[in-house]
Structures are given as C-alpha cells and as structure tokens.
Amino acid sequence: MSVILAIAFIFCIILARFFYIQVVWGRELVWRATDQWNREIPVIAERGLITDRNGKVLAGNRPTYSVFVRPNAVENREYAATVLSGVLGVDAAQLLEKLNSDKVSEITVARQVEKQDIEKLVSYGLSGVYYAGDNTRVYTYGEVLCQVMGFTSSDGSGVTGLEKYYDSVLSGQNGEIMYTTDIVGVETEDSTIVYRQATGGDGLRLTIDVDIQLSVEDALRSVYSSSGAKSVSCIVLDPQDFGVLAMANYPSYDLNDVPREDTDLLNELSRNCLVSDIYEPGSTFKIITAAADIEEYLSGNPNAFSTSYIFNSSRTRTVGGTTIKCWSDHANGKHTAQTLAQALNNSCNPCFTDIALALGTDTFYEYLTAFGLGNVTGIDFSGEALGMLVPQSLVRDCDLARIGFGQTVAVTGLQLACAAAAAVNGGNYYTPHLLKSIVSSDGSTVEEYQPVLKQRVISEKASRMLAEMLEGVVSDGSGKKAYIEGYKVGGKTGTAQKYEDGHIAAGKYVSSFVGFFPSDNPQYLALVIVDEPQGAYYGSTVAAPVAHEVFNDIIKIKNIQPFG
C-alpha cells in the first residue's frame, strides 16, 4: 500500500510540474525560445514638438540614425572596425576590443548619425552592421530659452529643464525591427523581417510668447554688457493666471551645441536661476509689506497705518540694538513727512520697519505665508528652491524690522514675481505654470492646462489702492526710468547689498525692478534682476530701464494703444 501511495505522490508531483511548465511558465519559455532565434533593433520614436503659445516651434526633430553591430555576425572584425571608425569617427581600437569580446551580443556604435554617413556605410556592405531611425533634437532659436527648455541626451531622453520634466509626455513609444538569426546571432537566409512602427510623443504648447522672450533676451544681453554684471535675469508673467510669458538668464548657451565636455560650465550655464537660486530682494519686497498694511487698515486693524498717515520724520530707527537708516539724509526737509505712497516713491526703509513692527510677528507672518514666502510656488519645473524665511518662533524684533524692507529674507525671482503679481492683480495668487496645453502629433489638444487659484492674499480694493501707489513710483518716484508716456506703468525698484560668510560684501549689490502694466488692470508683469553690476548699481538706474525696454517691445508686438 505504501508503494502505491509513493507512486501516486510522485505522479502528482510530475503532473503538477508539467502543468506549471505548460500553463504557468509556458508563455515565458516560448518568449525565451523566440528571443534566442530573433534579434531586435530599436526604432526610436519621434520626440514631441515644443511650441510657444502661438504655435511657433521651439524644439523639433531632424531625422538621423543609430548604428548597431552584432559581433557574431561580423565576418572581418578588424576591417569592420576600421570602416566604422572612418565613417563615424569612433575609436577603432576600442571598437575592435568590443567586437572581439564574447560578453556582448550587440553594440551600439553611434547615435544621431546623418543620412549621408549611413549611405556611405551601406556602400561597404559590412556584415553584422545594422542601422535604424532615431532623431536629433533641433532647437529653432539656439540659446533662446535654454535654461527653461533644457536638452536631451544622445539617446533622446530629457536631461534638464522642460525636456526632463515632461519627458514621459514627449518621449512616445519606441518601435523595433525584428529578424530571425541562427543560434550564434547570424541572420538566416530565409529571415522574416517584422517592423513595429514607433509612436511619436505628444507635444507641449507653452505659455511662453517667443516674441516677448526674444525681446527679454536682447535686453538682458545689452544690460549685461553695459553694466559688467556677473549675471542678469528676467521673468515676464501674465498676472491674471501666472502663465510665464518669458523667462531668461544670461550668460546662456546654445541648445544646438551643448558644452557637454565641460561639466562645471554646463551646470553653471544651464541652471535656471530664477527658479533655483535665492537672493535678498531689498526694496522690491516693500510691495508685500505695503499690501499687508493696506489690507489690515481696510480690515479695521488699529495697528495698521492709514494711507494718509504721516510717518515719523526721523531718518533712523533703532530696534534691538540695530540701527536702520533711510538712504536719504533728509537734508532740507526732504523725505521728512511721508505717507505710505510717498514712502514707496522714496523707498525709505524706516517707514516699512514701522509697518512690520506695528503689525507684529503673527499678523505679518500670515501675509508672508499667504504670499508664498518660504515655500515653493509649485511651478512645473524641477529644482525649485524654497527661499529662506526665519522661523516664526525665532523671529526677533530686529529681524521683523529688517524683513519689512526686504532684508533677513531670501526669495527666488519666481517667488517675488508671483507675490508682486498677486498684490496688484486683485489679490489672487495662482500656481505659476509653463505648460499651456499638451497636443498630439496631428495638432489636436490632448489636455488643456487650467489655472489653479491657490489663495486670495488681499482684497481687490487693497490691491487697487496698492497698484495706484506703485504707478506713482514710476511716474514720480524711484522707478521713473521705467515710465512710458501714455501707458499706466507701476513698479518698485530694489537695491540690496550682498552677503558673504555672514558679512556685507563690499561693493557687491543685487539691483532689481518689478513692474507691471497697465496698472489699473495688469496684463504684463516683469521682474529684472542684475547681479553685481559694476559702477552704477541702483535698481532705479540699472534694472528699471530694462523693464522699460521690454514693456516698450511688448507694446509694439501686441499693438497696445495708449490710454485716453
């Protein structure tokens, strides 16, 4: 009886194993067997186009080819290495070493090879050498928008910028060419070739307006040359939904000739400073302080200052052992009696120290948080910095006083631009974005971006009052060099000393200007940052004229008529 049970048990094990092999493991075994007798050459999918908001192509493709070698199918390896080296420029000795290795069944010799080189290669009739279509990314405007667009690797995948962020959208699905080989990988005489077509990726339509972008980049090159600055940056936003109309940093590089061999240089030039780097904003930050004061006054806070309040005429304030001075010496009675509007015009620091201290840490920090300070904006771009905001629990009066006029706080250019836009657009803070829509290869819309309202920072009334005051800064105050006759331009200048190792760096400044127009219904907002200009360094003299130039060009590009 025990023998019968043992036989039955063994039979059951064999039957179970047979079932597993045939049913459970069967598909994989068939695939493995097929794979031993078939070889595939990848066909790279065409990468999706990137266009500006008006459909102008920013990134496209040029048809090129990839070259592969199957060592087992090569008849004369030394000759093949010599020919491939001569045509494709690869190292013959290194290639021959790979051909003689038994560790690889296929070698990728080169990618993005031009058609004429493939034709030359085909004329040699080399056995074991194959080619398949791929694509070379082509950037229509070269260095324009380079830190935003980013670039791709030799295999066509995104490495930086939007090319990386939206790589899964742009990449598509690769195809393949499959053919039958013998056991050592040599194509059989009766080989059946199967071609699976690649599916191209979807395209991106950006919020960028390339005509405005070109204007911005021209203006940045000009101020970079004239000021001797270390670097210059500019972002132009649509204040109504925070779509990015232009974003540029200079120096830059050519996307069609990426300096891949110099890693340090490439990292420096490809960095989008407006998103990834922080700086102490200085007086442009006073927009946020003024917005908080106006809103609190309208809300009935007795600690807030009215728009008619006359600030203390002294040019200094001493807070916690720290003395804060107005840049003006107040000689001959100048700047001694100032309302909030006049304090903005004159950019007098002590007045904004008064506001911050009067509102107090809790209230002021509510506004700083609402305006996005110390947090990412959420833009569709990798590597966004948080900024620096002293933790509320650790803020001393002297810190609060300095934050009021833009010191002891650090922001990204994008953060400040968004905060300023929310302050003057009616009080609405949106998530900034570079994507307008995703489109298929036939041009139909796959997905349309919908603006995201994150929060309301101040009331519409407060926003209108502030915008009117900032119009006065341009018409009568420190922002005069951004003034355009017949157009309502508002703005605020900023000049901040730089710090190194915790100390003021002598002679090093960040000059900036944030402006918008028309001030009664903002459609365009620009932030200009000039890092370490030589000679003249005030934001009013270095940065404001750049915004003037950009706004003038926008007026011409969009054919915007003067008011009245």
Write the DSSP symbol of residue 181. Answer: B
| Cα–Cα dist 349/67, whole Å | 65
User: Where do the CATH 3.40.710.10 domains begin and end in the chain?
Assistant: 210-557
pLDDT of residue 102: 75
pLDDT of residue 12: 67
Backbone angles phi, psi at 294, to 5 degrees: -60, -45
pLDDT of residue 1: 61
CA of residue 522 relative to chain centroid, distance: 23
Pairing of strands 428-430, 453-456: antiparallel
Cβ neighbors of 131 (< 8 A, separation 6 or more) are 41, 65, 66, 67, 68, 113, 118, 121
Which has the closest alpha carbon to 284: 458, 126, 453, 407? 407
Q: Is 426 left (phi over 0), alpha (psi -120 to 50) or beta?
A: left
pLDDT of residue 28: 53
| Cα–Cα dist 317/226, whole Å | 36
CATH topology of domain 210-557: Beta-lactamase (3.40.710)
Cβ neighbors of 509 (< 8 A, separation 6 or more) are 495, 496, 497, 498, 532, 533, 537
pLDDT of residue 21: 59
Residue 142 CB: number of other CB atoms within 10 A?
13
Give the containing element (helix H, strand E) for 508: strand 503-517
Which has the closest alpha carbon to 222: 261, 188, 196, 248? 248
Catalytically annotated residues: 283
Which has the closest alpha carbon to 262: 270, 251, 274, 272? 270
Which has the closest alpha carbon to 513: 491, 534, 496? 491
pLDDT of residue 507: 85
Mean pLDDT by 10 residues, the chain (564 residues): 66 66 55 51 84 97 90 88 92 89 83 91 89 89 97 90 96 74 51 69 97 98 97 98 98 95 93 96 97 98 95 87 81 71 93 96 98 97 96 95 95 98 98 97 90 97 98 95 96 90 82 97 98 94 97 97 82
User: Where do the CATH 3.90.1310.10 domains begin and end in the chain?
Assistant: 39-206
Residue 373 structure tokens: 């300070």
Residue 26 structure tokens: 């069967």
Mark 7-37 as b/e (b = at least 16 C-beta within 10 Å).
eeeeeeeeeeeeeeeeeeeeeeeeeeeeeee
| Cα–Cα dist 94/87, whole Å | 15
Q: Which CATH superfamily is domain 39-206 in?
A: Penicillin-binding protein 2a (Domain 2) (3.90.1310.10)
Which 3 state secondary structure label does DSSP give 31?
helix
